[in-house]
Structure 1
Amino acid sequence: MNLPDRSPGGFPPLWEVAQQLAAGQVSSVELVDACEAAWRDWHGAINALVLSDFGAARAAALESDCRRRAGQSRGVLDGVPFSVKESFDVAGWPTTCGNPALHARAAQRDAVVVQRLREAGAVLLGKTNVPLGLRDWQSYNAIYGTTRNPHDPSRTPGGSSGGSAAAVCAGLSYFDMGSDIGSSLRNPAHYCGIFSLKPSHGLVPLAGHGTGPARFGEQDINVAGPLARSARDLEPVLRAIAGPDGDDALAYRLDLPACPHRRLADFRVAVLPTHPQAEVDGEVAAQIEQLGHWLAGQGARVDWHVRPDFDAAELWYVYVALLRATTAVHMDDAAYADALVHSAAAAAADHSYATLQYTGATLSHRDWLRLQAARERFAAAWRRFFSAYDVLLCPAAATTAFALNEVGEPWQRSITVNGRAQPMTTQLFWAGHSGLCGLPSAVAPIGPGTSGLPVGVQIVAGRYQDLTALRFASLLEDAGHAFRPPPRPTTLPADHHN
């Protein structure tokens, strides 16, 4: 059998190794061996896969190989090694979200998505790094240290699914399971030059994700979704993890609408390279503009700078308020008491992030319900928008991967956009613009930019039109907008824990 090629340019995608497994050209054990060898090559440079058990993975791979020999394959994912974001439960392993106080607490059972992937025969390798509390566009914490971008280890791989994106980019796993409430799948895929899907809200159960008393299956705004090196890899993973769980499964079945389009020329495309609410750096905006012009040349209908008919500033306020409201469940009593003090002192018209993180966390239920009316207005505007367009192309983040910066709190930092400092939190606009209303968003690499760093495009589609976003990403990939492997690793001085 032939071991998968791990040389530069030889990072095989999931779909390719799945075909090799089915044809008996490679074994699952060999795939695990290849991932472990990649981990040895890259770990000192990027520190992405921070918990692993290659012995247990090899045992599961042996079982998969036996199933295939017996003609009992469980499907496309059977025998394919994967990793999972640290915030998902794996039985017997800690789920900390970067909090040292939780390091000794082992999960009792697998998260639903982990359980479903294992039932599909996928082979779990380990967990990937996150920021503390999943609240950063970087991925570092006091337990596992700092994760770095494989394309440039002085830069971030993104967050909070930054370890996920870095691991997939460097070939440590064939796909990873991440989550997204504030672009946590989208910005890492953009920064690392890989593909991701933020599914429609509620499509994938979240039970067993996060920490704290509430670990339910449909947290407001938050979603679970896959990252991979090919757009073609995302759909089989989505089909394995999506669908109702628990009591809901007694009454409901999943039937996603198919995408009717076969060519890029069939698509109606809206292009929004930047927005007054959240200016985008020219390096990123130019790549999206170039893509739009290229699509027009392919015969697609392309309209420029079109937006849904709502007030973007109002959407920003509602999104951040509800974002902080839903994440407040993870605050301890002292942090919540502090938020109450800040909220009481805040001016009613202050819609800055610095204030909304407190007023949102302490929303009354009455005020929360009032914001649902606003959200439904935005959702109606999106429905009208997607009656005229199939996809919206926009940025996933304002810049390419920025230099690591672990000073202060994330909301106190800034990034440089077109030569000017921009509050880091401004980027949340590109998360909430579609995320507040639960729309699916795929990210596909379209760079590199002028700096040589990856650039991705966010592909937004209508609610439950996940397969439309994925079809568009796959057609882009077929046309050459594909994953480009990072340069060979150079080990940096260790700044992480082993």
Structure 2
Amino acid sequence: MSHDLTVWSGARAMAAAVREGRVSARALLELHLERIAAVNPVLNAIVSLDVDRARAGADEADRYQAAGGRLGALHGLPFAVKDTHAAAGWRTTYGSPLFADHVPDADDLIVERVRRAGVVLIGKTNVPEFAAGSHTFNRVFGTTRNPHDPSRSAGGSSGGAAAALAAGMVPLADGSDMGGSLRNPASFCGVIGLRPSLGRVPEWPLYNQWETTSVSGPMARTVDDLALLLGVLAGPDPRAPQALGDPGRGFAQPVPPGTDALRGLRVAVSVDLGGAFEVDHEVAAVVEAAAATLARAGSRVVSAHPDLAEADDTFRTLRAWHLQAKLGPLLAAHPDGLKASLADNIRLGEHLTGADVARAYTRRTTLGERMRLFFRDHDLLLLPVSQVPPFPVEQEFPTEINGRPMATYLDWMRSAYHVTVTGCPAIAVPAGRTTGGLPVGVQLVAPHGADRWLLEVAAACAEAFAGAGADGGGVVGTSPG
């Protein structure tokens, strides 16, 4: 076999090369293992790496193909699963010392689907403890670093996934998002992260199938590759009663290139949702530049935003309730076993009343209705993904923005979690850089259910931003350029 693939070739190109017999799954794996060996010791993005098992999996994929087996959409692609998603027979720690040696005996649904699509599992991607927080560090594996500047955070909770993607260690990645955990690390690392519409990517098993704050979704280096993975992850499942009924294959079709989708697009842009949060001046400048780029491409850009005044209380109440319900018994059994900030968040939930939770759900209903009405007059909402650029890796979280103190751990993530409680799909797209060269993404929000349309618009935006100079930039060890 001969091929001209590199680790930057893209998931669709790699999958096509395997399917057409131009490269074996084993050769593709070795290409990525070489890259992992070169950069993962610095970045610490992939954990529980099992080279022998990965090679055995790649060899089995090649035998299956040689025998005429039916190939899945991701056949032969190396893949590392987020360490909060259980993979049968594979160490899954949730970033917690309490689960440091945990090996589940069943796959989560998202893992079940990527396995069925033919991936070659190589390991897990690093997470903060129980995915709580937007900076990836834990006491089991340590800290994940940003591929563009290892002195900076890779974001979280899907920080290992975003860093591995940006550094060329994997062509695709899975993640999950409650307060921005697919979007924030994508912005920090210069890749694409989609928080899908509620119900688009079903999850199982869950402690509560009716809890709808957190969702799972795809990450990739291009929107077209992200669509390929969404096509695998999306679609109904009888074990997930809130799953939307659209089959996954409708999302997997190639996303057409070009910026035609931007002409006449009604874009509402807001840097801070009417003063709802503080935004770093350099991040604000990237958002404003992105809006100007869309205007030049033919979009009808106006300064506007939905009224999300209740979003802060709604999210914080539901998050505390969710964490207490899920992890409260674990904290009670191991009072000193969880990191301090997570333990504090769990304890906040202990003081909630039924009236508090009812108020949050009532307000969330109101917020969803406001977004529905907002999108009658606007097609797309453009705002920051994160209120800050990547911060120093030694910090647990930013303590101030533009000199304004952040009173709590969550204050710097409002731009993401205010969108969370609307239930709308939101995608992080690289849009620019700070003066120091750190990636900054913008967040594009669409009406609930409009995920495929959002991908097409996001691809057009990404092309327009790249044309305006918002390239992916160099990363540790080499450059994708």
Out of 455, 475, 481, the residue aligned to residue 487 of structure 1 is 475
2:217 is aligned with 1:222: no
Question: What is the Cα deviation at residue 220 of structure 1?
Answer: 2.6
Opposite residue 418 of structure 1, the aligned amino acid is: N
Question: What is residue 43 of structure 1 aligned with on the other side?
Answer: 40
- Cα deviation per residue 1:18-75 (whole Å; 9 max; x = unaligned)? 2322333222212111111111001221011011223222333233334444554424
Aligned pair in 2 of structure 1 residues 251, 17: CA closer, same or farther (>3 Å)? Answer: closer
Deviation of 1:366 after TM superposition, in Å, equals 4.0
Partner residue of 2:106?
109
Contact 2:162 2:186 in 1 (8 A): yes
Deviations 1:80-119 (A, max 9, x none): 1121110000112233222112122210111111111111
Structure 1 counterpart of 2:391, which letter?
F
CA drift of 1:248 comes to 5.2
1:464 Cα deviation after fit: 1.2
Q: Deviations over 1:256-307 (max 9, x none)?
A: 8989995211422111122412111111111111111111111111111x11
Q: What's the TM-score, normalizing by structure 2? A: 0.88
Aligned counterparts of 1:66 and 1:264: Cα–Cα separation in 2: 45
Map residues 47-196 of structure 1 onto 2, 5 A cutoff: 47-69=44-66, 72-196=69-193
Pick closer, same or farther for the CA change 1:177–1:129 going to 2, 3 Å.
same
Q: Shift of the alpha carbon at 1:152?
A: 0.6
Q: Matches of 1:445 and 1:389 in 2, distance apart? A: 22
Between the aligned partners of 1:18 and 1:356, the Cα distance in structure 2 is: 42
Contact 2:84 2:130 in 1 (8 A): no
Answer with 93-102 or 154-163: which moved more.
93-102
CA-CA distance at 1:356 after TM superposition:
7.9
1: distance between equivalents of 2:117 and 2:100? 29
Q: Structure 1, residues 329-385: CA drift from partner, whole Å, max 9, x if none?
A: 23344846999xxxxxxxxxxxxx999864444423343223222111111000001
Change in Cα spacing, 1:333 to 1:470, as seen in structure 2 (3 Å) is same
Structure 1 equivalent of residue 294 of structure 2: 295
Instruction: Give the aligned partner of residue 369 of structure 1.
Output: 358
Distance 2:474 2:143 in 1: 18
- Is the contact made by 1:206 and 1:219 (CA closer than 8 Å) also made in structure 2? no
Contact between 1:390 and 1:468, CA under 8 Å: does it hold in 2?
A: no
**Aligned pairs, number:** 461
- Tell me which residue corresponds to 1:394: 383
TM-aligned CA deviation for residue 390 of structure 1: 1.8
How far is 1:215 from its partner?
3.5
**Farther off after superposition, 428-437 or 35-44:** 428-437
Q: Contact 1:91 / 1:109 at 8 angstroms: preserved in 2?
A: yes
- In structure 2, relative to structure 1, the CA distance for the partners of 1:13 and 1:416 (3 Å cut) is farther
1:422 aligns with 2:406: yes
Q: Kindly indicate whether the alpha-carbon contact (under 8 Å) linking 1:93 and 1:106 is maintained by their aligned counterparts in 2.
A: yes
- Counterpart amino acid of residue 108 in structure 2: A
Structure 1 residue aligned with 2:320 = 324
Which amino acid is the alignment partner of residue 278 of structure 1? F
Rounded Cα–Cα distance in structure 1 between residues aligned with 2:416 and 2:31: 35
What SS class does the counterpart of residue 450 from structure 1 fall into?
Answer: coil
* Residue in structure 1 matching 2:425, options 436, 440, 453: 440
- Contact 2:147–2:154, Cα closer than 8 Å, also in 1: yes
Contact preservation (8 Å) 2:78, 2:120: yes
Seen in structure 2, the aligned counterparts of structure 1 residues 315 and 187 have a Cα distance that, compared at 3 Å, is same
Contact 2:323 2:349 in 1 (8 A): no
| Letter in structure 2 aligned against 1:380 | E
Q: 1:333 to 1:249 in 2, by over 3 A?
A: closer
The 8 Å contact of residues 199 and 244 in structure 2, kept in 1 or not, is answered as no
CA shift, 1:4, in A, is: 5.5
Q: Structure 1: which amino acid aligns with 2:106?
A: R
Structure 2 residue 4 is matched with structure 1 residue 12: no
With over 3 angstroms needed to count, the CA separation of the structure-2 counterparts of 1:18 and 1:149, relative to structure 1, is same
Residue in structure 2 matched with residue 380 of structure 1 by the alignment: 369
Question: Which amino acid counterpart does residue 224 of structure 1 have in structure 2?
Answer: S
User: Contact 2:48 / 2:124 at 8 angstroms: preserved in 1?
Assistant: yes
Aligned match of 1:283: 282
**Once superposed, what is the RMSD of the aligned Cα atoms?**
2.9
Choose which of 392, 399, 404 in structure 2 pairs with 1:403.
392
Instruction: Read off the aligned partner of 2:280 and give its amino acid letter.
Output: D
Deviation, structure 1 residue 157: 0.2
Q: Quick one: distance in 2 between partners of 1:227 and 1:202? A: 17
C-alpha distance in 2, partners of 1:389/1:467?
17
5+ residue gaps, structure 1, are 209-213, 340-352, 491-498
Give, in whole Å, the separation in 1 of the partners of 2:233 and 2:135. Answer: 26
Aligned equivalents of 1:168 and 1:319: distance in 2? 29
Cα distance change on mapping 1:3 and 1:52 into 2, 3 Å: farther
Residues 4 and 111 (structure 1 numbering): CA distance in 2 closer, same or farther, change over 3 Å? Answer: farther
Q: Which residue identity does 1:163 align to in structure 2?
A: G
- 1:3–1:31 Cα contact (<8 Å) kept: no
Residues 84 and 66 of structure 1: is their aligned pair in 2 closer, same or farther, counting only changes over 3 Å?
A: same
Structure 1 residue 486 displacement after superposition: 3.1
d(CA) in 2 for partners of 1:283, 1:252: 38
What letter corresponds to residue 486 of structure 1 in structure 2? G
Matching residue's letter, 2:441: G
1:449 is displaced (CA, Å) by: 2.2
Distance 1:76-1:251 versus aligned 2 partners, 3 A rule: closer
| Residues 468/269 of structure 1: CA separation in 2 closer, same or farther (3 Å cut) | same
- Contact 1:194–1:483 (Cα < 8 Å) also in 2: no
User: 1:83 is paired with a residue of what secondary structure?
Assistant: strand
Summarize the Cα distance change of 1:324–1:4 in structure 2 as closer, same or farther, 3 Å threshold. farther
CA distance 1:250–1:301, change in 2 (3 Å): closer
| 2:338 equivalent in structure 1 | none
| Code of the aligned partner of 1:101 | L
The answer to whether structure 1 residue 235 and structure 2 residue 231 are counterparts is no
2:265 maps to: 267
Instruction: Please give the per-residue CA displacement for 1:132-185, whole angstroms capped at 9, x wherever unaligned.
Output: 222222111111111111111111000111111111111111111111101111
Q: Name the SS of the counterpart of 1:253 in structure 2.
A: coil
Q: Which amino acid aligns with 2:222?
A: S
Contact 1:4-1:34 at 8 Å conserved across structures: no
Contact 1:197 1:225 in 2 (8 A): yes
Question: What is the CA–CA distance in structure 1 between the aligned matches of 2:92 and 2:369, rounded to whole Å?
Answer: 38
Q: Measure, in 2, the Cα distance between the counterparts of 1:333 and 1:203.
A: 30
Residue type matched to 2:322 in 1? T
In structure 2, the gaps of 5 or more residues are 336-341
Q: Distance in 2 between matches of 1:299 and 1:380?
A: 29
SS in 1 for 2:263: helix
**Quick check: 421-430 or 279-288, which moved more?**
421-430
